[in-house]
Structure 1
């Protein structure tokens, strides 16, 4: 019998082809499933590795990955956020209400802007905060110090390695933050409005009119740079040419913008005497010790009164950056710690009297301020604007020196600004001084009505006499520093 061409054989051929196709399809499905399983396992492995990395990073393990930092607080508080007073104070300088006076000179003293902690270790054992400093200092190749403009063909950025600093993250101790830099830009804009827009200073930077002074700390240098940039926005120089502006500094052993026992050893003697005084002893027993016992139980540490300064700083930094304080440490406890630190420091600056305390701690800066004022009155100093970039411990003793009630003096917030303005009467030709601090004109007790009570101007002769009584001589600072270059100025 002849086979039917449309019978079973064609069906078998189709079945064979379908079977081979099915085998190929089964192999594809198997390969796909294996690929998906491998992919899922890889993703799971990456997730586990990330968790382990975060855990070891937060614990400060030496296994931190140096090139892949993980930040627990990447958001920097903006200037528009409502933060506690200590986190920054930016205020416009009020215009003088009396237009019969002409401004002749301004001396500005600022505190640096917002920063990270200055303590070179964890603030408390429970802290897992990792600090992200998104700004850094740069420098150009070295050049002649007399150069006023140069071609900026290259910049060197100072970058701190991740995971090797005492505090977690990429910030060095006490580093200025982006918010701190922005605060000082705003300070500069406020100064521009007060002194440039008014016509007192020219619209372009002029080194004959402006003198810049800072201590040699990165955060104070960066702060004054920001102020100048806020006052004088970048100009239109040609090509790669950039403007070179001098910031005058000193070595720390001859720095006058803070207490300096090297310059005036009596500082240490006054501090030791104050700590042993009946007033401080009673304060420690009645107020400080109960606070320390409460903190001991919360922080699991054996604290002494000497630890309060570092604790106040840590609590301020964490509060200003939205980082949690240790469990049980309330806002009230934080304020009590800050109050006790302020109490002791203001008493130190006024011990054994405001006159002697000021001489010991900030007397050389007082002399620098006085010399500039007197030089302008006598026509010897033609500088119109002088700015000093320092710290809270620069402004606090100045506030004490003006005989303000030390019980009313608060710790200077970040970016605090004091302006000492020298005016000359257009009609009479006499000089007067106004002091503005964080947007408020200070009423100086030692003037005692010897000036314009409406504009709160103080007669120059009265202000002059007060400052002269706060300037130390060689004998006051223990008399054995005749070779010190600072004392050679006398």
Structure 2
């Protein structure tokens, strides 16, 4: 006889308890799905984002023309960095880099290697490029625009191909040979914080933060989450190596979910090991601990040190454009999650979690039609004007430079001197 029809004195309370437990489980699954979904930045979400986007237009300032666009992106969806018990590589498929990339008939899927960008990741960046083609015409033909684009990357496959895929959408190209001819330069120094780890001033700031009680409590929290995650893996009977850091667990969860989510598969929201699936409560704990870790690494002062070379380059390109000494009208900096979180933190707009795949920051330079020497700057995050404690929504180029550069330009030598002297 079913519980709902049981007439004993325990039946009703047991049934209510079961319903309550099920309700709590459902709520936890919904919360987990929400947290994971916002990290995926699916093509469907992006399409809706483009409809509401303010990029390339605004009704208030009709006397201005777009002069230059610089966009910084995180790479698109990728395979995990660490193939572990939680997640293998066989479910991921990537471009092989030797055929026409975007043809519907192209079935040359290959299993990804570690951290390689997936087909969905390429699609995400292609959609951004296609959106930019509509938002920013520059009054140029595709042929003219092709010669006025610059792509900059950290030199990783996922960032290189993110740049290629974005420009494919921007120019409407589907041919691999045309894509590789577009100028792609490597600027890892400006786009990744690991190249400024030798900065003494940065180390000094980090040491000060690590001594803080709040930081130590946070470190204890994410260490506990790592230990619980490894305990789960061990309990399944898996005898491989454990994961060491919270970001390794985080990316295993995010990679697993986003890959299946983008394929329209919702059967397994969390990774499974030998038919044992990670409980949603543990998954949520790991994701939240990872956010705490990301937040602890993005102190605004440290982020300014990390990202000054990139900010300096963005300002410098605007100034060169204003003097008419460059042909470039579109520059794409293809980076990583740390690139985006450092930028957002430095600009007073960090939202406390790992940036989603293919998230973007756009820096627009506008020139006034009547007075050609008057320039305005606008910064947008995923299509909307950036809500920043540092910048105005609509500002002069001079104000923009004064607010973000603190006297140090993109030259690595000057950045190094500032690191040694601690003058920021």
Instruction: Tell me whether the two structures share a fold, i.e. TM-score over 0.5.
Output: yes
Q: Deviations over 1:107-138 (max 9, x none)?
A: 0111111111012x3153xx566234242112
Q: In angstroms, what is the RMSD of aligned CA positions?
A: 3.5
Q: 1:273: how far off?
A: 4.3
Change in Cα spacing, 1:363 to 1:338, as seen in structure 2 (3 Å) is farther
Query: Matched residues in 1 for 2:95 and 2:203: separation?
Result: 36
Q: Could you say which structure has the larger radius of gyration?
A: 1
State the match for 2:402 in structure 1.
465
Q: Is the 8 A contact 1:133 1:177 kept in 2?
A: yes
State the match for 1:438 in structure 2.
382
State the match for 1:345 in structure 2.
294
Change in Cα spacing, 1:122 to 1:203, as seen in structure 2 (3 Å) is same
State the match for 2:149 in structure 1.
210
TM-score by length of 2: 0.72
State the match for 1:228 in structure 2.
167
State the match for 1:103 in structure 2.
66
Q: 1:296: how far off?
A: 4.2
Secondary structure, counterpart of 1:138 in structure 2: coil
State the match for 1:475 in structure 2.
417
State the match for 2:213 in structure 1.
278
Q: Is the 8 A contact 1:359 1:470 kept in 2?
A: no
Q: 1:192: how far off?
A: 0.6
Q: 1:466: how far off?
A: 1.2
Q: How many residues get paired?
A: 349
Query: Matched residues in 1 for 2:215 and 2:257: separation?
Result: 28
Q: Deviations over 1:77-109 (max 9, x none)?
A: xxxxxx812112523242223222221111011
Q: Deviations over 1:433-486 (max 9, x none)?
A: 1111112211332246xxxxxxx312322211012217363322227xxxxxxx
Change in Cα spacing, 1:258 to 1:200, as seen in structure 2 (3 Å) is farther
State the match for 1:396 in structure 2.
341
Structure 2, gaps ≥5 residues long = 1-35, 101-107, 261-267, 409-413
Query: Matched residues in 2 for 1:129 and 1:221: separation?
Result: 21
Change in Cα spacing, 1:476 to 1:182, as seen in structure 2 (3 Å) is same
Q: Deviations over 1:204-228 (max 9, x none)?
A: 3545421111221111111111111
State the match for 2:118 in structure 1.
177
Query: Matched residues in 1 for 2:116 and 2:286: separation?
Result: 23
State the match for 2:357 in structure 1.
414
Query: Matched residues in 1 for 2:90 and 2:249: separation?
Result: 18
Q: Is the 8 A contact 1:292 1:303 kept in 2?
A: no
TM-score by length of 1: 0.63
2:133 aligns with one of 180, 192, 195:
192
Secondary structure, counterpart of 1:396 in structure 2: helix
The reply to whether residue 86 of structure 1 matches residue 22 of structure 2 is: no
Q: Which moved more, 1:186-195 or 1:255-264?
A: 255-264
Q: Is the 8 A contact 1:123 1:314 kept in 2?
A: no
Q: Is the 8 A contact 1:118 1:174 kept in 2?
A: yes
Structural mapping, 1:39-54, within 5 Å? none
Q: Deviations over 1:228-250 (max 9, x none)?
A: 111112399xxxx9576233333
Query: Matched residues in 2 for 1:401 and 1:317: separation?
Result: 27
The reply to whether residue 245 of structure 1 matches residue 190 of structure 2 is: no
Secondary structure, counterpart of 1:181 in structure 2: helix
Q: Is the 8 A contact 1:108 1:419 kept in 2?
A: yes
Secondary structure, counterpart of 1:393 in structure 2: helix
Query: Matched residues in 2 for 1:315 and 1:227: separation?
Result: 26
- Larger helix percent: 2
Q: Is the 8 A contact 2:78 2:255 kept in 1?
A: yes
Query: Matched residues in 1 for 2:407 and 2:339: separation?
Result: 15
Structural mapping, 1:24-43, within 5 Å? none
Q: Is the 8 A contact 2:74 2:360 kept in 1?
A: yes
Query: Matched residues in 1 for 2:164 and 2:152: separation?
Result: 11
Q: Is the 8 A contact 1:435 1:441 kept in 2?
A: yes
Q: Which moved more, 1:332-341 or 1:412-421?
A: 332-341
Q: Which moved more, 1:182-191 or 1:294-303?
A: 294-303
Change in Cα spacing, 1:281 to 1:234, as seen in structure 2 (3 Å) is closer
2:368 aligns with one of 403, 406, 425:
425
Change in Cα spacing, 1:473 to 1:134, as seen in structure 2 (3 Å) is closer
State the match for 1:309 in structure 2.
247
Query: Matched residues in 2 for 1:434 and 1:321: separation?
Result: 34
Query: Matched residues in 2 for 1:257 and 1:299: separation?
Result: 35
